[in-house]
Amino acid sequence: MIIVGVILIILAVLFYIMNISLINYFINKEIPGLIDVDSSLPEADKDEEYLWERTAGTGIVPKWVSVIGLAVYPVLLVGIVLVVVAIIR
């Protein structure tokens, strides 16, 4: 059971990395240089958005990429629970 938990935690990390990479890929594909411009600007205040955040809901990033990102949380949670339960037993 601990092996399955560790595999799920690793899978969650891979999903997270894949999600971030795909978001960057699709944003750079549709609006080249946006992320570079955004990183050169001073940090946004808590009330302000970064430029790349304004792409939300525009269809630039496919919904299946968001599903991968959302899958990180339950997979990570189940992995952690399995590891903790295996350690406690």
Number of domains in the chain: 1
Q: Is the pLDDT of residue 28 over 60?
A: yes
Greatest CA span in the chain, whole angstroms?
A: 52
Mean pLDDT score, 37-45: 64
pTM: 0.78
Q: For residue 33, is pLDDT > 60? A: yes
The answer on pLDDT for 46 being more than 60 is no
> Residue 55's domain spans which residues?
2-88
Length of the chain: 89
Alpha-helical regions (H) of 31-62: 34-40
| CA gap 78, 64 in Å, rounded | 21
pLDDT of residue 40: 67
pLDDT in the model for residue 12: 97
